[in-house]
Structure 1
Amino acid sequence: MKKQFVIIGLGRFGVSVCSELHELGHEVMAIDMNEDKLNEVTDVATHSAIADGTDEKSLRGLGVRNFDHVIVAIGDNIQASILCTLLLKEMDIPDVWVKAQNYYHHKVLDKIGADHIIHPEHDMGHRIAQHLVSDKVLDYIELSDEYSIVEIVVSSSFHNKTLLETDIRAKYGVTILAIKRNEHVNISPMPDDKLFHKDVLVVVGRKKDLKRFESIS
């Protein structure tokens, strides 16, 4: 289902989100005060406008309040980010995502009602660190302080064994969400599905259990 998004602020993060939403087939309005930055997204933004994200009159004039999803991707100007977020929530935008610069910025955004607070550098740091310390972990998503989802390469010790035979959930306390084999993805695999060396498992669980499973998988 096609959705409509507004992105306010076209730094590297904003441009990246704009491009990806376009690739996924959604409509995007891009807003920035810098015309050169708007020119960067000409091919991927459905609409674009030169405007100040802290100017309520400008935002209302662009019809931002008619959108369900707004991403505040304003870069280093924390004050502008906070004011823009406050205006959007006062305009009753139901789903406001905001890029936070640091812990204190996050706290203020939470207080004024941001629906989702993003730390792209922090999150990417976690993912890169996981790649660096293990040649088995292909991707990593932190769900909370306790739980994560990882993609782990199946080792030769599990080759040609079914999920029932490996008894992964009972032994390690993690859940297999999917098995990826070349271009094929098996969602919610059955107990009699077999694993082969170099398959990729999408696994969810407590971080300590995932680490234990990774060490033997």
Structure 2
Amino acid sequence: MLKANGYVIIGLGRFGSSLGKELMKLGYEVLGIDKDEEAVQEMSDILTHAVVAECTDEEVLRSLGVRNFDCGVVAIGDDIQASILTTIQLKDLGVKKVVAKAISELHGRVLEKLGVDRVVYPERDMGIRVAHQLVSPNLLDYIELSADYSIAELTVPRGLDGKSLQEINPRAKYGCSIVAINKTSGVIIAPTAGEVLRERDVLVVIGTNDQIDKFEHAVAK
């Protein structure tokens, strides 16, 4: 049985597969659904569970328990009608958060009118970046520089308000570096140790994926 805080991805094409793989790497359980048996077969050993099903059928989705998931991602390819119908089904079934892939601005506007929580345009949002953004409330952006190094933008939580970089000391504690701070007054490049953070400031952090992940979880507490 999949955990309630898992993700259901409907459509296992290039985007859906990439997103599913990265969510699995991040330690989340993922149910993948696609009507293409070959696509499901390719992901069956990668995702927690992958099934062949008609995603526009409400009863099928209900039987798969999609309403128990915290987030449903509609990653259907070029079939706009199927995308829209599936999105409606997820909303009707009460999925807490619905994210949908759009293939055009018009498609995106329709999805927004249906009340989706986020519209994703694959040309602008690669699956890896979206995966990190979905599971990290303080993460605004995530860019892979290489297999090991990344740059991330993190919002400063209330718990760090009024603290200086010297107090947080991310370099010594986590190995990552804060290379810039975006404040309401402007961007500070290469901030000094005495720079004081305010809630909702945006930190630009560089380091290995593990270093950023540890820092992100530490500041979120």
Q: TM-score range by the shorter chain?
A: 0.5 to 0.7
Question: How much has 1:122 moved relative to structure 2?
Answer: 2.9
Q: In the TM superposition, what is the alpha-carbon distance from 1:90 to its structure 2 partner?
A: 0.9
The answer to whether the Cα contact below 8 Å between 2:21 and 2:46 also exists between their aligned partners in 1 is: yes
Given residue 22 of structure 2, which amino acid in structure 1 is its aligned partner? E
Residue 83 of structure 1: which of 70, 82, 85 is its match?
85
Q: CA deviation at 1:84?
A: 0.4
Distance 1:95 1:139, change over 3 A: same
Where do 1:11-22 residues align within 5 Å? Answer: 11-22=13-24
Partner of 1:177: 203
Aligned mates of 1:18, 1:100 — CA distance in 2: 17
Change in CA separation of 1:57 and 1:103 when aligned onto 2, cut-off 3 Å = same
Q: Give unmatched runs, 5+ long, in structure 2.
A: 130-142, 144-149, 156-176, 181-188, 217-221
Q: What is the match of residue 58 of structure 1?
A: 60
Aligned residue identity for 1:82: I
Q: Which residue of 2 aligns with 1:112?
A: 114
Q: Distance in 2 between matches of 1:116 and 1:179?
A: 24
1:215 corresponds to: none
Q: State the AA in 2 paired with 1:72.
A: V
Query: 1:1-217 residue pairs with structure 2 within 5 A?
Result: 3-123=5-125, 162=192, 177=203, 180=206
Aligned partners of 2:73 and 2:207: how far apart in 1?
35
Over 3 Å counting, the alpha-carbon distance change for 1:153 and 1:86 in structure 2 is same
1:113/1:24 CA distance change after superposition, 3 Å: same
What is the CA deviation profile of residues 103-152 of structure 1, one whole-angstrom value per residue up to 9, with x for unaligned ones?
1111110111111111120346xx9xxx9xxxxxx8587x9xxxxxxx99
Q: What is the Cα-based RMSD across aligned positions, in Å? A: 3.6
Q: Within 2, Cα distance between the matches of 1:93 and 1:184?
A: 33
Counterpart AA for 2:118: H
Distance 1:176 1:67, change over 3 A: closer
CA contact (8 A) 1:178 1:187 kept: no
Which ranges in structure 1 are unaligned for 5 or more consecutive residues?
132-137, 144-150, 170-174, 189-217
Q: TM-score, normalised by structure 2?
A: 0.60
Aligned length: 159
Deviation at 1:94, TM superposition (A): 1.1
Per the TM alignment, residue 66 of structure 1 is displaced from its structure 2 partner at its CA by 1.5
Q: Is the contact made by 1:2 and 1:27 (CA closer than 8 Å) also made in structure 2?
A: no
What is the DSSP-based 3-state SS (H/G/I as helix, E as strand, rest coil) of the residue aligned with 1:6? Answer: strand
Query: What's the secondary structure of 1:87's corresponding residue?
Result: helix
Q: CA deviation at 1:15?
A: 0.3
> TM-score, normalized by length of structure 1?
0.61
